[in-house]
Chains A and B, each alone.
Chain A
Amino acid sequence: MLTLPPFEYHAPMELADALALLQKHAGKVKLIAGGTDLVPNMKHRLFMPEHVVGLKQISELNGVRGEGGFLVIGAMTSIADLARNPRVALLFPSLARAATAIAGPQLREMGTLGGNLCLDTRCVYYNQTHFWRKALGYCLKKDGTVCHVVKGGQKCVAAASNDTAPVLLTLGASVELASPNGRRAIPLEEFYVADGVANTVIEPNEILTKVRVPIPRAGLVTGYQKLRIRAAIDYPSLCVAVAAQQQADGKLEWVRMVISALGSKPHTVKRLEGFQGRALDAATIAELGQAAHRQCHPLTNINVETGWRREMIPVFVRRAFAEAMK
């Protein structure tokens, strides 16, 4: 069996204690939520922290509750709890759907929303054992200097592979990050950056504590579609999340689309302002699909045909809207 490198495990009860541990062991520490991403990555020697800080015991990181005009979801809420939460299903069907599409039942019980949002980017040349990566000659994300996806590439293009991120982006969510200096809330839109080595702005001394999603007004429709080869236990080859706010007369107030699993950052489709005031009919949706298609250029960071992943974008946009308006 692949072994875990040795480490010291900490299980603080309070967030402050967890933050103190991060500070104390800076550079040698990793946080563990459900462990479904970190543990295999440690076995692959992608991370060899001397200290691991478990977040399970910190009660303030758990739970889903209404707060003002927001639904606040604790970072340690399990993916399974998210998938079966009735309020989530009622308010944000696309989020429930994305949660259900993650991995398999056992992994959903272990995995958490915070963990999914902070999921390390994935690449066929990266998520491998140390022996394999050594035989390859390593890559620029870890231990090496070259990119095997983009020949001569200087920037890592490992794929954002979290199912919940594109959905929460369409919902206008924000995240709260705690550090010894206090807490800051930032829109999820500003949380991700286009860098496959580290695609979030979270600082090493910070902990993602909660996700705040604005509770929608009447007329919001949401949808999520995931392309994968296998019907379960498969990271996305393509994710399409859509949300549209319709007015009482059915006209669009705004529409958002986020396409992910293609590059290192979930791509929020730009220049959709022109759709304001239009009806969400077949012609509009087809145009939205084309807009998304034009802006997305997948790379061979996974072993699934790149051309097909791209061609599926307009199809999945249409299906996501069809599901949204059901």
Chain B
Amino acid sequence: MSGVVGRRLRKLDSLKKATGEAVYADDISLPRMLHAKILRSPHAHARIKKVDFARALKHPGVMGVLEGKELPGKYGIIPWTQDETALAVNKALFIGDEVAAVAAVDELAAQEALELIDVEYEVLPALVEPEAALADKANVLHEGNKHGNVTKHVDLTFGDVEAALAKSAAVVEENFFYAGSTHTPIEPHCAVAQYDGEGNLTVWSSTQIPHYVHRELSKVLGIAPARVRVIQPFLGGAFGGKSDPFSLEFVVAKLAMKLGRPVKCLFTREEVFWAHRGRHPMKMRFKVGLSKEGAIEAVDSKILIDGGAYSSFGLVTAYYSGQLLTGPYQFGTYHFDSTRVFTNKPPCGPKRGHGSVQPRFAFEVALDMAAEKLGLDPIEVRRRNFIGQNVKTVNGQQITSNGFLQALEAVEKASGWKERKGKLGYGKGLGVAGSMYISGTAYPIYPNDMPQSGIQVKLDRSGKVTIFSGASDIGQGTNSQVAYLIAEEIGCDPRDCTVVAADTDLTPVDLGAYSSRGTFMVGIACVEAGQKLWALLSQAVGEKWGVSTEQVDASWGTFRGPQVDQQMSFRDAVQLTEAKFGTLGATGSYRTEKLGGDYRGGTIGASPAYSFTAHVAEVHVDVETGQWKVQRIWAAHDCGKAINPTLVEGQIEGSVYMGFGEAAMEEMTYYPSGLHKGPSLLDYRIPTSVDTPELSAMIIESVDPKGPHGAKEAGEGPLHPVIPAISNAIYDAVGVRFTELPFYPGQLFKMLKEKKA
């Protein structure tokens, strides 16, 4: 034990970010570099008849152009649903869909040239609402799709739901609506491409999935994968918004190849809204039945998912909207019926808490309604339904560690629930909610038998430890985590580690920063690599001291034996070991075990470990205006083991902030034409520091038997309960329920008025 894991440490790169030294994609500037801009469709649904570049090519500074048919290869994150092209080949499917591109000597010239591209469109009827898209069999977005405008339909039943509902003492049946929201990373998407004389393509991209970008670039551009290199520089946030391959990556690559000059493309903020892939709007009908004692007998949901124009992760979204609801509570029976539909709007995808934040909101509010019917305390009803540890959920997911009860108790205590609930007076209330989330998904996105994560470590006789990690640090601190875990195993000072990350030429494959897989999967690979090196180090040092390997200890750069004079620097230990074994290096990898229910789709949502969260929110309502304020949110999260508690707290706070924003003000809204109502950070409001409530982040450590040092995820789970906890608190405060997001004060004002009348 070397005392790195569990300590509050600064991120390895935090000063670089604070001082501006960190290099982001847009900071990259290469000699002779051109700037590309993408022309976008002003129509929500239109056939492209003709693209004429004649005028654009005459514009001063323009060096080249690109149209859809030059890059006809389809791509997409899910191999079975690839329906995107870099630029529209035949049809544009939403306002903002990519149609053509231009490269010029600077951004301004490129932007001006866009106005000079003449596109002839045949405008088709726009399907903006999912119900309309579902009903329309003639007007199909993706022509040839045998299910019309349905992208995925999932219908799974576990037990006799009808019978269970019939015998329930309290049944709640309610409609919920979750407005779409988007990620708003502060860094917009950016990519730079260089194609050298030897036929090697290098793409720097603000992506959280360099491996998939590598695969798709190779496929679409028709270049051998060994000739394609993808590098992820520092990233200014992603939250799932950079986990698809995006048009600009293909566009800069193709233009660089065509023109023989490096090309950069940086999205504007508005373009980030067009690229979107944010949280799906969901219309949800929930039936929840509880026994007299409060046991959850039956849960039945029907969910209509508004997918936007492309598939993205949608197949997974449809499953996640049902598969991830079956904890932390035991469900007697369960049925969900989820349909994802294509509409002529920017595509939805994975946003922090992919697919499960929406049904979690609906369910946790419905649970409160049912508890009220039975006269049960909202915390008590959740406690009574605790599913336990080392159990299978109703849909066959294997739960290992489970600290939900401790989390619930922590927020109950910290919020003074027992003393204060129901005694705060009109206008003030407390609300609770719980949730669970995955630590990575057992099933890789494309089927293969290779590891999901890999680590290579090089020990240098200088004492420097270089770690090659394929994982994507998108701000959550994966690179630091990698260094902590290696340092923990081999006894070096983590600050003596250099992490070379997310560069497909240099680092082993990692599937990317999604599904909260980093700490768990990359962590296990680190532990394996570290242990291999420790075996060599401890053997060489043990031999030198004449003690067994078990008697050798090392921490923070110093090796120690049982005798006081047995002490050695890490560097000396490496030199001793290198002398004995030769050049030092090791690899580690994470392979998924076979998990999940034995039915079609049973592997989706199957995770090697689940995190659990409980929140209590205290809300004060201004009953004259409908404005409400969260006084404080107490958030307790079971992350298994906090490898660095400061980073875990940061993830809890960031999650609560993001969920609060969705509850309070964030909404992707469109006019009937399919035009987004305000694709900017002025119109699409996210909370400022003045809006953000006080947060109490509490760490619960259940020490998972499989996780690295017992660790599970912390980056997405803590978002889930925020929204229902706030809705439940508003109900507690003023007796009206929000079943639709966001909880606009104007709407609350109206509801209060109606209630009075």
Contact present for A230 and B691 (CB under 8 Å): yes
Contact present for A307 and B746 (CB under 8 Å): yes
- Given known contacts A132-B675, A135-B42, A305 and B665 CB-to-CB distance under 8 angstroms: no
Q: Chain B residues near A309: list those with CB within 8 A.
A: 746
- Given known contacts A6-B108, A229-B685, A232-B691, A132 and B679 CB-to-CB distance under 8 angstroms: yes
A136 touches which of B675, B680, B691 (Cβ 8 Å) = B675
Contact present for A305 and B678 (CB under 8 Å): no
- Given known contacts A131-B42, A131-B270, A234 and B685 CB-to-CB distance under 8 angstroms: yes
A127 to B747, CA, bound (A): 25
Contact present for A303 and B688 (CB under 8 Å): no
Chain A, residues 117-148, CB within 8 Å of chain B (1/0): the string is 00000001001110110111000000000000
Chain A, residues 298-326, CB within 8 Å of chain B (1/0): the string is 00000111011101100100000000000
Most buried by B among A4, A135, A227: A135
Chain B, residues 657-699, CB within 8 Å of chain A (1/0): the string is 0000000010001000101111110110101111100000000
> Which residues from 681 to 726 on chain B have a C-beta closer than 8 Å to any C-beta of chain A?
682-683, 685, 687-691
Q: Chain A residues near B682: list those with CB within 8 A.
A: 127, 233, 235
Tell me how far the C-beta of A120 lies from the nearest C-beta in chain B, rounded to whole angstroms: 14
Contact present for B685 and A1 (CB under 8 Å): no
Q: Chain B residues near A1: list those with CB within 8 A.
A: 107, 188, 266, 268
Q: Within 8 Å of chain A (Cβ to Cβ): is B625?
A: yes
Contact present for B747 and A230 (CB under 8 Å): no
Q: Within 8 Å of chain A (Cβ to Cβ): is B745?
A: yes
Q: Within 8 Å of chain A (Cβ to Cβ): is B311?
A: no
Contact present for A308 and B745 (CB under 8 Å): yes
Contact present for B688 and A3 (CB under 8 Å): no
Q: Chain B residues near A231: list those with CB within 8 A.
A: 688, 690-691
Q: Chain B residues near A235: list those with CB within 8 A.
A: 682
Q: Chain B residues near A124: list those with CB within 8 A.
A: 677-678, 683
A3 touches which of B95, B107, B747 (Cβ 8 Å) = B107
Contact present for B685 and A134 (CB under 8 Å): no
Contact present for B746 and A308 (CB under 8 Å): yes
A127 to B268, CA, bound (A): 15
Contact present for A308 and B749 (CB under 8 Å): yes
A303 to B95, CA, bound (A): 20
Q: Within 8 Å of chain A (Cβ to Cβ): is B8?
A: no
A230 to B745, CA, bound (A): 11
A129 to B749, CA, bound (A): 33
- Given known contacts A6-B108, A305-B746, A315-B625, A232 and B688 CB-to-CB distance under 8 angstroms: yes
Contact present for A230 and B688 (CB under 8 Å): yes
A305 to B42, CA, bound (A): 27
Q: Within 8 Å of chain B (Cβ to Cβ): is A2?
A: yes
Q: Chain A residues near B626: list those with CB within 8 A.
A: 308
Contact present for B747 and A305 (CB under 8 Å): yes
Q: Chain A residues near B678: list those with CB within 8 A.
A: 124, 128, 303
Tell me how far the C-beta of A4 lies from the nearest C-beta in chain B, rounded to whole angstroms: 8
Q: Within 8 Å of chain A (Cβ to Cβ): is B413?
A: no
Q: Chain B residues near A66: list those with CB within 8 A.
A: none
A72 to B749, CA, bound (A): 41
Closest to A312 in B: B625
Contact present for A2 and B683 (CB under 8 Å): no
A5 to B690, CA, bound (A): 34
Closest to A315 in B: B624
Contact present for B107 and A135 (CB under 8 Å): no
Tell me how far the C-beta of A265 lies from the nearest C-beta in chain B, rounded to whole angstroms: 23
Contact present for A135 and B675 (CB under 8 Å): yes
Q: Within 8 Å of chain A (Cβ to Cβ): is B744?
A: yes
Contact present for B42 and A303 (CB under 8 Å): no
Closest to A130 in B: B115
Q: Within 8 Å of chain A (Cβ to Cβ): is B750?
A: yes
Contact present for A303 and B746 (CB under 8 Å): no
Tell me how far the C-beta of A77 lies from the nearest C-beta in chain B, rounded to whole angstroms: 24
Q: Within 8 Å of chain B (Cβ to Cβ): is A104?
A: yes
A230 to B682, CA, bound (A): 10
Q: Chain A residues near B676: list those with CB within 8 A.
A: 132
A27 to B549, CA, bound (A): 84
- Given known contacts A131-B270, A135-B675, A231-B691, A3 and B111 CB-to-CB distance under 8 angstroms: yes
Contact present for A3 and B108 (CB under 8 Å): yes
A127 to B690, CA, bound (A): 25
Tell me how far the C-beta of B648 lies from the nearest C-beta in chain A, rounded to whole angstroms: 28
Q: Chain A residues near B188: list those with CB within 8 A.
A: 1
Q: Within 8 Å of chain A (Cβ to Cβ): is B254?
A: no
Q: Chain B residues near A129: list those with CB within 8 A.
A: 268, 270
A311 to B270, CA, bound (A): 33
Most buried by A among B266, B270, B747: B270
A5 to B624, CA, bound (A): 46
Chain B, residues 293-329, CB within 8 Å of chain A (1/0): the string is 0000000000000000000000000000000000000
Chain B, residues 261-283, CB within 8 Å of chain A (1/0): the string is 00000101110000000000000
Tell me how far the C-beta of B736 lies from the nearest C-beta in chain A, rounded to whole angstroms: 15
Q: Within 8 Å of chain A (Cβ to Cβ): is B40?
A: yes
> Which residues from 283 to 307 on chain A have a C-beta closer than 8 Å to any C-beta of chain B?
303-305, 307
A24 to B268, CA, bound (A): 35
Tell me how far the C-beta of A69 lies from the nearest C-beta in chain B, rounded to whole angstroms: 37
A227 to B747, CA, bound (A): 15
Contact present for A132 and B665 (CB under 8 Å): no
B746 touches which of A104, A136, A304, A315 (Cβ 8 Å) = A304
Q: Chain A residues near B108: list those with CB within 8 A.
A: 3-6
Enumerate chain B interface residues (CB-CB to A < 8 A): 40, 42-43, 95, 107-108, 111, 188, 266, 268-270, 624-626, 665, 669, 673, 675-680, 682-683, 685, 687-691, 744-747, 749-750
13 extra interchain contacts, Cβ-Cβ under 8 A, other than A124-B678, A231-B688?
A2-B270, A4-B108, A132-B270, A132-B679, A135-B95, A136-B673, A229-B745, A230-B685, A303-B678, A304-B746, A308-B745, A309-B746, A312-B625
12 sample A-B contacts, Cβ–Cβ < 8 Å, listed by A number: A1-B266, A2-B269, A128-B680, A131-B42, A132-B676, A135-B95, A230-B665, A233-B688, A234-B685, A303-B678, A304-B746, A309-B746
Nearest 3 pairs of A and B residues by beta carbon: A308-B746, A305-B746, A135-B42
